[in-house]
Structure 1
Amino acid sequence: MATQSLYRRYRPRRFDELKGQDHVVRALRNSVINNREGQAYLFSGPRGTGKTSTARILAKVLNCEKLKDGEPCGKCASCASIDVGSSYDVLELDAASNSGVDNMRDLIERAALGNPGRHRVFILDEVHMLSKSAEAALLKTLEEPPEHVVFVLATTDPQKVSETIRSRTQHLQFHLLTTQELKDHVNWVVADAKLVISAEAIDRVVQLGAGSVRDTLSALELVVASGGEVDEQISLDEFIESFIDHDPGRALAAVGAAVQFGADPRALTEDIVRHLRDVFLSLMAPELVQLPKERAEIVSDQARRIGAGSVVRAIEVLGEVLIEIRHAPDARLLLEVSLVKLTRQSASTDVAALMSRIERLEAAAAANRDPTGPITRPVIVDPNTGRAKLGGRATPLVVVQNQQAPNKPEPVQNVAKVVPITTGSTTGGTASSAPSQNIASGAVLSDDEIKRRWPDVVASQKPMVRALYSAVNIIDCKDGLITLGAPSDVHITKSSEHTEALLASLKTIAGKQIKLNFVVAESKRNRNSKSNSIELANEDIEDQVDLAETTKAPKGARSTAIDDLAKAFPGSQIIDDKK
C-alpha cells in the first residue's frame, strides 16, 4: 500500500488550521456564526493555497451536528463522512472533465433532490474550464438555487470566469504564503512527522515552494526521500556577479556547471529571472522581499552594485528567452547567447545596451574631472597674430584643491548683504548628502587648514550644492567663522538653502562647529575674466614712441597716391582729362 503524501496527510480540516488565509477564515466563520451563509462562493488564487480544502471545511461547518464558534467538531457522522469523501451532502466535480452542458443539466437535477444534512454543497473545481453553454445553463440555478443548496466554485484564473457567474457569487481571493509562514509550517511538519532534514535543506524547500503549501510539502517529501540534504547545485549569485563584472566567461561556466548537475535550461532561466526579481524589489521596495535576513542582505548588496537599469534589461532579455525557448532546437545555446549579450554589452546593439554604455562613459568622464566646476574652455587663438583673441582666453572655472584662495580679495561693490548661517539639525534627510569617504574626521583643525580643505568639502556635496558653491569665494576664516563671497544677493539666497549638508561636512573635518557668513563680492569667474581682459587689452596697446629719436624724411622721398597707382600699372599713362 502506497504511503499517503504529506500534503494529503496534513490537509487542513478546520478553519484554524488554514495557513495564511486569515481574511477568508474571518469572512466564512462570521457568516456561519451569524447565520448569514451565502448561496454561492467563488474561491480564486494560486495553486496550493487551500481553495478546495476551505470548500470542504465550509461543507463540514454547514452540516456539523455539534458546531462551536464557527468551527466543525470533526467527530460527528457528517464531519467524518465528508473527511473520507462518502457524504451525500457534498458533491465535488472537476469542471475540466465535466465542462459540457449535459453535465450541468445533471448537476441541476441533483440540486433539486433532498439530502440527509441541512445543506447540500456543490464544489466545482477549475470552474473557468466550463464551456459557454455550460455556464449559461448554470446561471439560473446559481442565481436562484434551492434553499438547502450552496455552490462553491474554485479557480486559479478568475479572469476567465464570465462576469455573469462572478456577479452571482461572493468572491474570496486566496494569497500565497510568505516565506516565514511557510518556513514555520515546514518546521512544524518536520517535527510532527519526525523527519530528518538539515536547516539548509528546509530553506531550499521553502524557496522551491514559492508560497504554495502543497508545492512546499511535495518538495519537502522529495528532499527527505533523497536523504534530507540539498543536492549540489550552482548558486544563482554566479550569474548576478557575472552581470556586475561584465564577465561572459563566468556566466557560461555557471551554465555549464548547472547543466552538469542536471538543471534544465528553461528551469534555470526561470530561476535566474526569479532571483533578478528579488534584486529588483530590493532596489524599489525592500519590504516586499521575502527572503531570510542574511540572504536579503546579500541580495541588497548585489542590487546596489548592478543598478536598476541593468536588472530591468536582464529581466526583459531573459523573459524573451523563456518565450523563444519553447521552439528552440537547443535551449542551452539560446540561454548562453542571451547571457553573453547581458555580460558583454559591446556584443549587443539594442537601445538599452547602448544607453547603458553611454551612462558608463559619462560616469567615467565625470570621475576624471574636478567635480567643483565645469570644464575649462580651450584658448581661442587668432591665426593672424598668434595671440589669444580678446574674450577668447579660457576662463579658469575649475577649483584646484591644493591652491589656497587669496586672503582678502577686494570686492567690486559694497557689501549688500551679510547672511550668518549656523549649524542646524543634521539628522534625517542629510544622510544621503554626507561627505565622501576621502573626507575623514580628525583633530580640531586651524583656520588656515580649514581654508585649505574647503575645496574638498565642496567636492563631496551633491551636484546642485557643488554647482552653487563653485562660484563662491572663501574670503576669510577666523575663529570658526568662514566668510564667503557670492556674486549676487540671489546667489546668496539660493546657497543659504543648501548649507545643512555643507556644515555637517565642515564639522566632520574641522572637529568643531563652523559658521558661514555670505557677502556680495566678485565671483571667481568674473574676477578671472576681468584680469584676462585687462591683460589682453594691455598687450594690444602700441608701444609709446619717443619723438626725440625720430628723423625727418628726405625731400622727394615722399610719393603721392598717383605715383603709387602708376607703379601698380607699369607702362600706363596718366591722362589729365579735365572734362
Structure 2
Amino acid sequence: MVYQSLYRRFRPQTFREVIGQDHLVAALRNAVVEERVGHAYLLSGPRGTGKTSTARILAKALNCIDLSGDGEPCGSCDSCANFEAGNSMDLVELDAASNNNVANIREITANAALGSPGKRKIYLLDEVHMLTAAASNALLKTLEEPPDHVIFVLATTDPQKVLPTIRSRTQHVELTLVAPELLRLHVEQIAKQAELEIDSAAIEYVVEQGSGSVRDTLSALDQVVTAGGIPEHRGSVDALVNAIVAQDLTDSMTAIAETVAAGVDPKDLAYRTTRKLRDVFLAGAGVNSGEATLEELPELAEKAGEMGRAVNVRALELLGQALVDMRQAPDPRLVLDLALVRLFAGTSDPHPVQRSARPSGQTQSSSERPAAQARAVLASAQSTGDGEVVAASSDSSSVAPPPPPPTQATEVDDRPDQVAPVTQTQTQAKGSLELSITEVSKRWEQEVLPSLAARARARFQAATIVTVAEGRVRFELPNETHRERCEQIKSDIETALRDIFEVEVEVELTAAQEEKVQTTAEPKAAVEEEVVDPAEFEANAGTGTTSVDRVLEAFPGAIASGEEDSASR
C-alpha cells in the first residue's frame, strides 16, 4: 500500500473535524440545516487553514442522502462514500492557477446547466485570484445568476487580487491561522490515531514550524517521524537572541556562523529570530503571542527588560527588512550580517560627542586637523574690537554654543587678571581664517570655480569677490535677477569653499546695480538748481552787461546765435 501523508490521511471529513474556524463552520452548518445556502462563496485565508476541505465538506453535506439534524453528513451513504473516495460527479474542482484563461471559464459556464447525479453541483475554483481579467469577466454572468442546482465556492489566499465585481457577487468568509494550543491538541490526537511515538519537544517543534497552518504542522510531523526525532541540523536561535539581548556584535556573528555551519538556511535563521524577538517584545508588554508557553513567558519578559524596547524594535525593523532583501540577494547570510552590524552601530554609541570630549585644561594634539581647529575656534572665540579678547576654552574638540548677537555682546572686565590668554593653537587656527582677498580670489579662479557643477559654474562666472572677513566671503553680481538665481545654489558654493579652505565659510551675495544707483543718487540730490531771474537783466542794464551776457553766464557753453545772424547781415 502506498504511503499517504498525514495531512491527506487525516483531512477533515465533517464540519466538527475542522479546527480553528468556528465562525465558518457555524455559518455553513446553519445554512445547510435551514436550506439557505448561498449560490456563491468566497473563502480566503492563509495556506493550510481549511478552505478546500471546508468546500468539500459543504458539497458532501448538500448531497448527503441521510443528513443529520445538525447539518453533518452521515459519511455512510453512496454519495458520501464517493466524496471521500474523490470520484464524485457532483464536485468539480478547477485549479485556477493553471486553468486561468477564457476558454476554461467558457467550458464551466457551458457545462453548468447540465445535471449531475446528486441534488447539488458544486464548482470549486481554487486560487481564483490567478484568473486573468478576461476570464474573471467571463465568469461574472454565470456567477451572478447560476442554475438553481449549481453552487460556486471560490478559494484564494490573496482576496485583494480578486475583482471587486466577483467579491460583490459572493459571500466572503475569511479564515484565520489556528492558535498554537489547538494545534498542539490536534497533533497529539493525530499522533494517537496514527500510533506515533512522539515527545513533547517534538510537538513544540512541529507546532512552531507550522506557524498556524494545519497542513504545514502535519507536514513537519511527517518529517519528525521520518527522521526519528527533531532534525539535528535545525539549530537553535537562542544563542543569537541572547547575543542581541546583550548587544554583543562578536557573539552575534559567532552565533550566525555556527548556526549556518550546522546547515541552517540564513533565511530560516533570520525568520525564526524575528519571531523570537517578537515574542520577547510582546512578553515585555505583558502579552502572550500565542506561540510561547506559560513557562517561557517570565524568561522572555526578563530578556525584554534587559534589551530595552528601543533596541528590540530596531532589531525587529532591521531583521524584517533583511528578510525582504534576502529574496533577491545572492548571499543571504551577508544581508543578515549587515543587518546586525547596523543594529549595533546604532545602539552601541548613544553619546558619541561626550566620548570625544576632553578636559578643558588639556591642550590640543598637534595631529588634530587644521579644519577641526578652525571650526572650534570660530565657534568659541569672539573678537570684541580694539584689541580686546574674550576668554575662550582651550578645548577645541568640543563644540561651543554660537556667539551671541552684537546687541548682547559679552562685556569684558577691565581687570587684567580676568582676561584669559589665547593659546598658541587658537592663534594659529584663527590666523588660518584671516585670508587675504587676493589669495581667496586666486584660489577661487584656479580651484573652486573649476570644481563646481556646470550650472553653478555658469552662474558664478560673472561673480566678483569684494570682501573677505571673519569667515565670510562677499560676492558681487551684475544685477538683482542674477543674484536671486545664484541665491538658489549658494549652499553649493559654501560647500566648495569649505572643502578647499577647510574652514566654515559663509557666502553673502550682493547686486552691483543697487550699489551704483545708491552712490550716484547722493551727488545728484546735493546739486541745487540755479534759478535765473529775468528781472536781474533789467537791473543790470546800466552797468554795461547785456542780458545776453547774463544768459551766457547762466548757461556755460551756450552760443548766442543772434549775434552771429546780425554780423552776417
Superposition TM-score tier, normalisation by shorter sequence? 0.5 to 0.7
Contact 2:94/2:124 (8 A) holds in 1: yes
Partner secondary structure for residue 87 of structure 1: coil
After TM superposition, give the deviation of residue 230 of structure 1 in Å. 4.4
Tell me what 2:30 maps to.
30
After TM superposition, give the deviation of residue 192 of structure 1 in Å. 1.2
Tell me what 2:283 maps to.
282
Rounded to whole Å, the distance in 1 between the matches of 2:352 and 2:121 is: 66
Tell me what 1:316 maps to.
317
Tell me what 1:209 maps to.
210
Matched, 1:190 2:183: no
- For 1:206, the aligned partner's letter is V
Rounded to whole Å, the distance in 2 between the matches of 1:160 and 1:66 is: 39
Partner secondary structure for residue 286 of structure 1: coil
Tell me what 1:139 maps to.
140
Partner secondary structure for residue 259 of structure 1: helix
Rounded to whole Å, the distance in 2 between the matches of 1:214 and 1:360 is: 54
Contact 1:209/1:216 (8 A) holds in 2: yes
Rounded to whole Å, the distance in 2 between the matches of 1:359 and 1:303 is: 25
- For 1:10, the aligned partner's letter is F
Q: Deviations over 1:453-509 (max 9, x none)?
A: xxxxxxxxxxxxxxxxxxxxxxxxxxxxxxxxxxxxxxxxxxxxxxxxxxxxxxxxx
Rounded to whole Å, the distance in 2 between the matches of 1:25 and 1:329 is: 45
Which stretches of structure 1, 4 residues or longer, exceed 6 Å deviation after superposition?
359-362
Contact 1:49/1:212 (8 A) holds in 2: yes
Rounded to whole Å, the distance in 2 between the matches of 1:166 and 1:360 is: 58
Rounded to whole Å, the distance in 2 between the matches of 1:383 and 1:56 is: 99
- For 2:17, the aligned partner's letter is E
Contact 1:46/1:176 (8 A) holds in 2: yes
Tell me what 1:76 maps to.
77
Rounded to whole Å, the distance in 1 between the matches of 2:101 and 2:10 is: 34
Q: Equivalences for 1:81-230 in 2 at 5 Å?
A: 81-230=82-231
Partner secondary structure for residue 122 of structure 1: strand
- For 1:27, the aligned partner's letter is A
Rounded to whole Å, the distance in 1 between the matches of 2:288 and 2:299 is: 15
- For 1:258, the aligned partner's letter is T
The verdict on how the C-alpha distance between 1:128 and 1:214 changes in structure 2, with shifts beyond 3 A counting, is same
The verdict on how the C-alpha distance between 1:320 and 1:340 changes in structure 2, with shifts beyond 3 A counting, is same
Matched, 1:61 2:61: yes
Q: Equivalences for 1:463-478 in 2 at 5 Å?
A: none
Rounded to whole Å, the distance in 1 between the matches of 2:290 and 2:354 is: 32
Tell me what 1:432 maps to.
none
TM-score (norm 1): 0.60
Tell me what 1:40 maps to.
40
After TM superposition, give the deviation of residue 109 of structure 1 in Å. 0.9
Tell me what 1:13 maps to.
13
Q: Which has the larger radius of gyration?
A: 2
Partner secondary structure for residue 172 of structure 1: strand
After TM superposition, give the deviation of residue 33 of structure 1 in Å. 0.9
The verdict on how the C-alpha distance between 1:230 and 1:199 changes in structure 2, with shifts beyond 3 A counting, is farther
Contact 2:284/2:305 (8 A) holds in 1: yes
After TM superposition, give the deviation of residue 163 of structure 1 in Å. 0.6
Contact 1:42/1:153 (8 A) holds in 2: yes
Rounded to whole Å, the distance in 2 between the matches of 1:241 and 1:209 is: 24
Contact 1:78/1:87 (8 A) holds in 2: yes
Rounded to whole Å, the distance in 1 between the matches of 2:319 and 2:414 is: 58
Contact 2:44/2:158 (8 A) holds in 1: yes
- For 1:77, the aligned partner's letter is D
Partner secondary structure for residue 114 of structure 2: coil
Contact 2:63/2:119 (8 A) holds in 1: yes
Rounded to whole Å, the distance in 2 between the matches of 1:2 and 1:260 is: 36
- For 2:335, the aligned partner's letter is L
After TM superposition, give the deviation of residue 384 of structure 1 in Å. 4.2
Partner secondary structure for residue 151 of structure 1: strand
After TM superposition, give the deviation of residue 285 of structure 1 in Å. 6.0
Rounded to whole Å, the distance in 2 between the matches of 1:361 and 1:178 is: 49
Partner secondary structure for residue 153 of structure 1: strand
Report the more deviating stretch, 91-100 or 233-242.
233-242
Q: Deviations over 1:140-164 (max 9, x none)?
A: 0100011000000000111111111
The verdict on how the C-alpha distance between 1:51 and 1:359 changes in structure 2, with shifts beyond 3 A counting, is farther
Rounded to whole Å, the distance in 2 between the matches of 1:48 and 1:358 is: 49
Tell me what 1:523 maps to.
none
Rounded to whole Å, the distance in 1 between the matches of 2:234 and 2:289 is: 26
The verdict on how the C-alpha distance between 1:115 and 1:312 changes in structure 2, with shifts beyond 3 A counting, is same
Partner secondary structure for residue 121 of structure 1: strand
Q: Equivalences for 1:254-269 in 2 at 5 Å?
A: 254-269=255-270
- For 1:173, the aligned partner's letter is E
Identity of aligned residues (%): 50
Rounded to whole Å, the distance in 1 between the matches of 2:193 and 2:8 is: 14
Q: Equivalences for 1:229-248 in 2 at 5 Å?
A: 229-231=230-232, 233-248=234-249
Contact 1:240/1:302 (8 A) holds in 2: no
Rounded to whole Å, the distance in 1 between the matches of 2:352 and 2:167 is: 50
- For 2:350, the aligned partner's letter is R
Rounded to whole Å, the distance in 2 between the matches of 1:204 and 1:212 is: 14
Contact 1:201/1:230 (8 A) holds in 2: no
The verdict on how the C-alpha distance between 1:293 and 1:15 changes in structure 2, with shifts beyond 3 A counting, is same
Q: Deviations over 1:19-71 (max 9, x none)?
A: 11111100011111111111000000000000000000000111100001200
Tell me what 1:357 maps to.
350
Partner secondary structure for residue 208 of structure 1: helix
Rounded to whole Å, the distance in 2 between the matches of 1:117 and 1:136 is: 29
- For 1:137, the aligned partner's letter is A
Report the more deviating stretch, 294-303 or 276-285.
276-285
Matched, 1:293 2:290: no
Rounded to whole Å, the distance in 2 between the matches of 1:134 and 1:126 is: 13
Rounded to whole Å, the distance in 2 between the matches of 1:19 and 1:281 is: 26
Rounded to whole Å, the distance in 2 between the matches of 1:287 and 1:258 is: 27
Rounded to whole Å, the distance in 1 between the matches of 2:414 and 2:75 is: 103
Rounded to whole Å, the distance in 1 between the matches of 2:290 and 2:308 is: 17
Tell me what 1:538 maps to.
none
Rounded to whole Å, the distance in 2 between the matches of 1:52 and 1:84 is: 15
The verdict on how the C-alpha distance between 1:148 and 1:248 changes in structure 2, with shifts beyond 3 A counting, is same
Rounded to whole Å, the distance in 2 between the matches of 1:114 and 1:359 is: 79
The verdict on how the C-alpha distance between 1:289 and 1:196 changes in structure 2, with shifts beyond 3 A counting, is closer
The verdict on how the C-alpha distance between 1:285 and 1:24 changes in structure 2, with shifts beyond 3 A counting, is farther
Rounded to whole Å, the distance in 2 between the matches of 1:196 and 1:110 is: 49
The verdict on how the C-alpha distance between 1:244 and 1:360 changes in structure 2, with shifts beyond 3 A counting, is farther
- For 1:357, the aligned partner's letter is P
After TM superposition, give the deviation of residue 328 of structure 1 in Å. 2.8
CA RMSD after TM alignment: 2.4
Rounded to whole Å, the distance in 1 between the matches of 2:190 and 2:100 is: 37
Rounded to whole Å, the distance in 1 between the matches of 2:118 and 2:200 is: 47
Rounded to whole Å, the distance in 2 between the matches of 1:330 and 1:386 is: 67
Give unmatched runs, 5+ long, in structure 2. Answer: 356-411, 419-569
Rounded to whole Å, the distance in 2 between the matches of 1:207 and 1:52 is: 23
The verdict on how the C-alpha distance between 1:293 and 1:230 changes in structure 2, with shifts beyond 3 A counting, is farther
Tell me what 1:457 maps to.
none
Tell me what 1:521 maps to.
none
Tell me what 2:566 maps to.
none
After TM superposition, give the deviation of residue 341 of structure 1 in Å. 2.7
Contact 2:14/2:57 (8 A) holds in 1: yes
Contact 2:284/2:302 (8 A) holds in 1: no
After TM superposition, give the deviation of residue 228 of structure 1 in Å. 2.5
Rounded to whole Å, the distance in 2 between the matches of 1:18 and 1:112 is: 31
- For 1:215, the aligned partner's letter is D
Rounded to whole Å, the distance in 1 between the matches of 2:76 and 2:354 is: 73
